[in-house]
Structure 1
Amino acid sequence: MGRSRTVEWEDPAASARAAGAMAGLDFLREMIAGRLPGPPIAALLGFTLEEVEDGRAVFAFEAGEEHYNPIGSVHGGVYATLLDSAAGCAVHSTLPQGTAYTSLDLSTRFLRPLTAGTGKVRAIGTVLSRGRRTALAEAGLYDSGDRLLAHATSTCMIFLVPDGSGVTRA
């Protein structure tokens, strides 16, 4: 018996333009408020940014069978996407206008299975250290009983955003 799922998302160009034109914390708060569209990957996997403050970001997710690997649990790539998003947005929340980040690495540890029966989980990212060019962040994936399901550390590169004319801002 086949199953299907329809996914809708908004044009990501609006948020991409706003990302470099706003301080990171303001940008993420605009996304939570719905004044900027979320990223298409969040619509595809079904997760949302729920909280953000300086150096911290929290995503919520509820797994379905569409997230499963062939052995009946959520695919590790879904875990990694949630953890990378939480760690990266924690870093983004610390950035001034005219700067951006990209993940350089992500080291993940899968500790407990995640299934459609697990219920709502939270990916909580925090910045451990931030310099001018790199930041170190961690993220944990927690179930409703605050049990740690997975953990990751991430190094992010911080860079100036070109303004479109070839000149770098900030």
Structure 2
Amino acid sequence: MTETLDGVESADTADPATADPSGERTRTYSWSDPLASSSEAAGLSGIEYLRAMAEGRMARPPISVTMGIDGLTEVEEGRVVFHMTPAEHHYNPIGSVHGGAFATLLDSACGCAVQSLLPAGDFYTSLDLSVKFLRGMTKDTGPVQCIGTVTHIGRRTALAEARIVDANGKLYATATSSCMVFRAGDA
């Protein structure tokens, strides 16, 4: 199967019919230079940067392509939505999506929700992430979305929450995160 991720071809032979005789699957992908995107974004507010990324005018970060996150599809002040289709390459040894894939998606949604409220020159970093796994995902789950929202933003810290739901609104995981905010004018 071939997917297009931001115009980047990604070959994924997770289909046993296309796997080699040993059952080995392959997945290849490529990404854009993250420092170039960072330089392009230097004068943009957080929401401008995220909207440019959602609209394909700015390259997605490498982790998004690596994890197979389909993309950032909604950006509002204090709220973002990511989409991902769980696949076999997300699996842990027990045959379901690894908790790290959940956590990466939830952390991205929490952090980007905070970023959407920051003016140009300000940035953030995650201080913590508390994840609650409610049910497992597999490649049969179908597309999911991860909705991140800011619950509080102050001068130095921000709090955000995120949840992963399927197309029917079934809840798979939730998270809360605290972020440290770095203001451009501070030394």
Does TM, normalized by the shorter one, top 0.5? yes
How far apart, in 2, do the equivalents of 1:46 and 1:63 lie? 8
Q: 1:20, 1:99 within 8 Å by CA — same for their partners in 2?
A: no
Equivalent of 1:111, from 127, 131, 134? 134
How far apart, in 1, do the equivalents of 2:28 and 2:186 lie? 39
How far apart, in 2, do the equivalents of 1:63 and 1:26 lie? 28
Deviation sequence 1:81-137 (CA, Å, 0-9, x none): 000000100000000111000000000000011100000000000000000110000
Cα displacement (A) at 1:55: 0.1
Cα displacement (A) at 1:169: 7.6
Name the CA shift for 1:160/1:20 in 2 (closer, same or farther; >3 Å).
farther
Alignment-derived partner of residue 55 in structure 2: 33
Equivalent of 1:64, from 87, 102, 105? 87
Alignment of 1:9-158 (within 5 A): 9-47=31-69, 48-158=71-181
SS in 1 for 2:96: coil
Query: Which one has a bigger Cα radius of gyration?
Result: 2
- Report the TM-score when normalising by structure 1: 0.93
Q: Which amino acid aligns with 1:127?
A: V
Q: 1:14, 1:37 within 8 Å by CA — same for their partners in 2?
A: no
Deviation sequence 1:28-81 (CA, Å, 0-9, x none): 011111111000011011111111000001000001111000000000000000
Which structure would you say has the larger RCO, counting Cα contacts within 8 Å and 6 or more residues apart? Answer: 1
- Report the TM-score when normalising by structure 2: 0.84
Unpaired segments of 5 or more residues in structure 2? 1-22
RMSD over aligned CA atoms reads 1.4
Alignment-derived partner of residue 20 in structure 2: none
Unpaired segments of 5 or more residues in structure 1? 162-167
Q: 1:98, 1:169 within 8 Å by CA — same for their partners in 2?
A: no
Percentage of matched positions with identical amino acids? 55
SS in 2 for 1:25: helix
Count matched residues. 164
Alignment-derived partner of residue 164 in structure 1: none
